[in-house]
Amino acid sequence: MSLVHVQGVTKRFGGLSAVSDLGFALEKGEITALLGPNGSGKTTMINMISGALVPTEGQIIFKGNQIGGLSADRIARAGIARTFQLVRILPSLSLMENVMVPAAFGPRRLWGKPARDHAETCLDRVGLAGKLNLSAADLTYIDQKRLELARALAAEPDLLLLDEWLAGLNPAELGQGIDLIRRLARSGITILIVEHIMEAVRALCPRTIVMAAGRKLADGATVEVLARPEVITAYLGSAHA
Ligand SMILES: Nc1ncnc2c1ncn2[C@@H]1O[C@H](COP(=O)(O)OP(=O)(O)OP(=O)(O)O)[C@@H](O)[C@H]1O
């Protein structure tokens, strides 16, 4: 059985259909790109999987259970974590404290020493092992991104949703970011990536799903999908082309 099964999902905001009758499945351990021009509905889809938005129609099945419409808190505990387009960390807290907070709300509800040990492991996984007691406000941009990832990992997700996690990195940092995501995927986490940097998509994602105006335009091997005329046409109208 697929880890995730999105079936006939629609999200309407008043008269606007941001996502229309979308369907796809994600297999365990897969790393997949969700692409599309600005406003095509990618973030709305991620928001429905993570519980920030309730689908108007359709089902989102995760590990065999319908999760569409459940609270973000319950979905996180079921094993789905995400990052945001604009980094969300707690600047006044140390790195360790930043990661202990989501650990407390994760499936094991860790507290005290087990939470500290788990936070240390998560920070180590993203390359921040030496900075546990620094204040989050003092981090460079890429380290803030690493910290956000460590906070997502603290909830011990089976599915990780990355919403433009690589955006804003310089070329050297981009290489480090790609390596880090690849390492996480190898550890068995299923990853869905919304990303406008095609170099990263090609390097990381064997499979790509393309949305246009809320609908699925293409789904298949990345190299093949990105060469399709209808995909190229969809992107030519966008600022990211
Ligand atoms: N809360 C909301 N209320 C009303 N309309 C919304 C809301 N969220 C998104 N939309 C609209 O839904 C459409 C899809 O937006 P969405 O942010 O999902 O696109 P996207 O593909 O993620 O775009 P981008 O690449 O620019 O982030 C857009 O027309 C957007 O204006």
How do residues 158-171 score in pLDDT, each as one tens digit?
Answer: 999 999 999 999 99
What ligand 1 atom has the least distance to the C-alpha of 11? 12
- The Cα-based distances of 208 to 104, 162, 217 in angstroms read 34, 14, 11
**How much distance in Å is there from the Cα of 38 to the middle of ligand 1?**
8
pLDDT single digits (tens) 16-30: 999 999 999 999 999
Tell whether ligand 1 has an atom less than 6 A from the beta carbon of residue 92. Answer: no
Q: What is the helix, strand, coil percentage profile of the chain, to 5?
A: 40, 25, 35
Residue with CA closest to ligand 1 atom 30: 39
Per the listing, tokens 């991620």 go with: 46
pLDDT value for 241: 43
The residue whose C-alpha atom lies closest to atom 28 belonging to ligand 1 is 39
- Atom of ligand 1 at shortest range from CA of 13: 4
- Cβ atoms of 98 and 147 closer than 8 Å: yes
d(CA 103, CA 105): 5
- To test the ligand 1 pocket, which listed residue (9, 11, 13) has its Cβ within 8 A of the most ligand atoms? 13
User: Whole-structure pTM over 0.90, yes or no?
Assistant: yes
* Confidence label for 200 from pLDDT (cuts 50, 70 and 90): very high
Residue 115: which residues within 8 A CB-CB, separation 6 or more? 100, 103, 104
Is residue 151 within 8 A of residue 103, CB to CB? The reply is no
Q: What is the ipTM of this complex?
A: 0.97
